[in-house]
Amino acid sequence: MCGIVGYIGHREAYPIILKGLQRLEYRGYDSAGVALYHDGKINVSKTKGKVDDLRKKVESSGNMEGHLGLGHTRWATHGVPNDTNSHPHYSNSGDLVIIHNGIIENYESIKKALIARGYVFHTDTDTEVLVNLIEEVRDKEEVKLGKAVQIALNQVVGAYAIAVFDKNKPDEIVVAKLGSPLAIGIGENEYFVASDASPFIEYTNNAVYLEDEEMAIIRLGKEIKLRKIKDDAIAYPNILELQLNLEEIEKGGYEHFMLKEIYEQPRAILDTYRGRLLADKGLVKMAGIDQNLEKFLNANRIIIVACGTSWHAGLVAEYIFEDLARIPVEVEYASEFRYRNPVITENDVLIAISQSGETADTLAAIKLAKEKGAFVFGVCNVVGSSIARETHAGAYTHAGPEIGVASTKAFTTQITVLTLLALKLASEKGIFSASQFHEILAELENIPGKVEEALKSNNLVAHIADIYKDSTNCLYLGRGYNFPVALEGALKLKEISYIHAEGYPAAEMKHGPIALIDEQMPVVVIATKKGHYEKVVSNIQEINS
Ligand code: BG6
């Protein structure tokens, strides 16, 4: 996830873009940049760090003038967060500038082809590939920018919200969307472009939200032209009158960031397996594993280290790895592991899981395992974080920034990555037949839709919360995969509601904790159809009686 802002009109663009980026910083905060058109030149400033670091850089350069500009706040997906990889990116000729939120999955093959045709790349990003592809189309086909963007986008696979301009046509911005949000604010002879309406809400209430596979040509003094990217059909802008205030917009209309992040799960899971889960080909593709397959396949065991919610994801992974890939797994609290002189050998693989990639105990556990010669693999959300740098290899979750302190979408995306990893190893070991494998992959593709369905139970959840809000204790029970889920549920209740809660394997209830059960004790049981359902129902009967 990243934040994008653009402006074209009669005002100075820089103050609008800067304020817009500050408001969009929740969408990405590892680097930021701005491109301003002034006097026939494009001045680009970009930096690793926060929007405020960008402000200092731009203000010390003195390049703040211009009535046309693009800005970006980044959450890295391709290439570490540094000044060079920050957006905006420009084409080889320096004519075109682009900002992009999303992932171009087939950028490597396009990049190779462009290099063969003489293009040079200065960054590790997929976005620089896209802007050069647009330039190549523009020059080869001798078409206008809008057409070039359309032709180029028909060659890419992935997700995007982009804004591009050409310094030879400084009265125009071209935008397009697939999978990432893009809003256009319509003012009096001025236009705004942004990931949400927060950067322009004080200038105009009139906005158009692009639909997937739509693009728009925004030209000063003209009405917006909307087109379908695939078939060039004309689309008609649905201009909305926004009623939201600024705070509501930043949180996407949700009361809290945590709630927003819970609702982001279908998108976050999809982004995490995008380009990796190729169900139609019966393949799982993950660069970090493909290059280190032997390490995993020859491992004596896998040791998973993590803290908090990430540790719970590790427990789920233990079941998945053993079940699908038949590799023995141990799961350790990083804080215990690092202090207890563990037995680690060169034939062990250590997987470190961390949303932030900065948790000190997890980092220390990694260093210890490396000293003892183990191969260390990271599963992190923050690109370029300490854990991502310290591990030998890894796979990112693409959950986007998690602002809520209590982890939510990080958990489900960690499980997504770990499931893909287990499946990859299972397929290498030939554990499943091609058709079984295919069936599992196809089923996995349905997960975002199922999460979406589950989220529809919100009203029921609110009703139940109302009944139990004054409880002082609560038990969460589950068996198999659902035992770690019970632990995670209990952790969330403790941290967010200040209600004491415990997670337990459902069958362990009878060995002591059942003594605590009375009319005052709510018990949440996770009883999915495939999670030893009949046995869990017997546990429920015990509790009832
Ligand atoms: C805790 C958070 O402080 O850190 C948890 O409250 C989180 O939600 C834990 O799971 C570990 O963090 P990370 O970034 O290593 O996954």
Contact 427, 438 (CB under 8 A): no
Cα 434 to averaged position of ligand 1 atoms, centre (Å): 38
Ligand 1 atom nearest to CA at 356:
14
What is the distance between the alpha carbons of residues 397 and 379, in angstroms, rounded to a whole number? Answer: 7
| Run of H or E including 503 | strand 500-505
Contact 395, 417 (CB under 8 A): yes
What is the distance between the alpha carbons of residues 151 and 53, in angstroms, rounded to a whole number? Answer: 36
Contact 395, 421 (CB under 8 A): yes
Is any ligand 1 atom within 6 A of the Cβ of residue 244?
Answer: no
- What secondary structure does DSSP assign to 484-531, as a single string? HHHHHHHHHHHHHH--EEEEEEGGGGGTTGGGG-STT--EEE---TTT
Instruction: Supply the pLDDT for residue 15.
Output: 97
- What secondary structure does DSSP assign to 345-413, as a single string? -TTEEEEEEESSS--HHHHHHHHHHHHTT-EEEEEESSTT-HHHHHSSEEEE-------SSS-SHHHHH
Strands (E) across 243-380 are located at 277-278, 283-284, 301-306, 329-333, 348-354, 375-380
Ligand 1 atom nearest to CA at 307:
11
Alpha-helical (H) ranges within 38-197 are: 51-61, 107-116, 126-141, 145-153
Is any ligand 1 atom within 6 A of the Cβ of residue 307?
Answer: yes
Is any ligand 1 atom within 6 A of the Cβ of residue 309?
Answer: yes
Identify the DSSP state of 507: G
Of all protein residues, the one whose alpha carbon is nearest to atom 9 of ligand 1 is: 308
Is any ligand 1 atom within 6 A of the Cβ of residue 413?
Answer: no
Handedness of CA 361, 367, 372, 373 (dihedral sign): positive
Cα 115 to averaged position of ligand 1 atoms, centre (Å): 42
> Which tokens in the block code for residue 287?
């660069």
Instruction: Supply the pLDDT for residue 179.
Output: 83
pTM passes above 0.95: no
Ligand 1 atom nearest to CA at 410:
16
Is any ligand 1 atom within 6 A of the Cβ of residue 308?
Answer: yes
What is the distance between the alpha carbons of residues 152 and 163, in angstroms, rounded to a whole number? Answer: 14
Cα 63 to averaged position of ligand 1 atoms, centre (Å): 40
Instruction: Supply the pLDDT for residue 374.
Output: 96
Q: What does DSSP say about strands 240-241 and 96-104: parallel, antiparallel, or unpaired?
A: unpaired
Alpha carbon 6 to chain centroid, angstroms: 22
Instruction: Supply the pLDDT for residue 47.
Output: 95
Q: What does DSSP say about strands 500-505 and 277-278: parallel, antiparallel, or unpaired?
A: unpaired
Q: Which residues contact 400 (CB under 8 A, 6 or more apart)?
A: 1, 27, 28, 75, 264, 268, 271, 409
Is any ligand 1 atom within 6 A of the Cβ of residue 356?
Answer: yes
Instruction: Supply the pLDDT for residue 77.
Output: 79
Of 261, 310, 415, 496, the residue with max ligand 1 atoms within 8 A of its CB, to mutate for a pocket test, comes to 310
Is any ligand 1 atom within 6 A of the Cβ of residue 414?
Answer: no
What is the distance between the alpha carbons of residues 341 and 311, in angstroms, rounded to a whole number? Answer: 20
Ligand 1 atom nearest to CA at 405:
6
Instruction: Supply the pLDDT for residue 243.
Output: 73
| Bridge partner residues of 33 (DSSP) | 46, 72
Cα 307 to averaged position of ligand 1 atoms, centre (Å): 6
Cα 258 to averaged position of ligand 1 atoms, centre (Å): 14
Identify the DSSP state of 179: B
Ligand 1 atom nearest to CA at 309:
10
Phi/psi zone of residue 428: left (φ > 0), alpha (ψ -120 to 50 degrees), beta?
alpha
Cα 265 to averaged position of ligand 1 atoms, centre (Å): 17
Cα 111 to averaged position of ligand 1 atoms, centre (Å): 37
Is any ligand 1 atom within 6 A of the Cβ of residue 366?
Answer: no
List per-residue pLDDT tens for the chain, 545 residues long: 789 999 999 999 999 999 999 988 888 788 999 999 999 999 999 999 999 999 999 999 988 999 999 999 988 877 788 888 899 999 999 999 999 999 898 999 999 999 999 999 999 999 999 999 999 999 999 999 999 999 999 999 998 999 999 999 999 999 999 988 899 999 999 999 999 888 999 999 999 989 889 999 999 999 999 999 998 888 888 888 887 677 767 788 888 999 999 999 999 999 999 999 998 888 899 988 888 999 999 999 999 999 999 999 999 999 999 999 999 999 999 999 998 999 999 999 999 999 989 898 999 999 999 999 999 999 999 887 889 889 999 999 999 888 888 999 999 999 999 999 999 999 999 998 888 899 999 999 999 999 999 999 999 999 999 999 999 999 999 999 999 999 999 999 999 999 999 999 998 988 988 899 999 999 999 999 876 889 999 999 989 88
| Residue showing tokens 């701005």 | 34
| Bridge partner residues of 476 (DSSP) | 503, 524
How many other CB atoms are there within 10 angstroms of residue 6's CB atom?
Answer: 31
Instruction: Supply the pLDDT for residue 98.
Output: 98
Ligand 1 atom nearest to CA at 406:
8
Cα 48 to averaged position of ligand 1 atoms, centre (Å): 24
Instruction: Supply the pLDDT for residue 335.
Output: 93
Cα 538 to averaged position of ligand 1 atoms, centre (Å): 34
Instruction: Supply the pLDDT for residue 266.
Output: 96
Of all protein residues, the one whose alpha carbon is nearest to atom 1 of ligand 1 is: 308
| Residue showing tokens 């100075």 | 12
Contact 414, 265 (CB under 8 A): no
| Residue showing tokens 């995007």 | 160
Is any ligand 1 atom within 6 A of the Cβ of residue 355?
Answer: yes
Is any ligand 1 atom within 6 A of the Cβ of residue 73?
Answer: no
Distance (Å) of CA 68 to CA 128, 131, 220, 542: 20, 18, 10, 69
Cα 82 to averaged position of ligand 1 atoms, centre (Å): 25
Contact 75, 381 (CB under 8 A): no
Cα 358 to averaged position of ligand 1 atoms, centre (Å): 9
Distance (Å) of CA 529 to CA 488, 524, 535: 20, 16, 11
Of all protein residues, the one whose alpha carbon is nearest to atom 15 of ligand 1 is: 354
Cα 497 to averaged position of ligand 1 atoms, centre (Å): 17
> Which tokens in the block code for residue 70?
């693009």
Instruction: Supply the pLDDT for residue 140.
Output: 96
Instruction: Supply the pLDDT for residue 531.
Output: 67
Of 258, 307, 382, 415, the residue with max ligand 1 atoms within 8 A of its CB, to mutate for a pocket test, comes to 307
Is any ligand 1 atom within 6 A of the Cβ of residue 419?
Answer: no
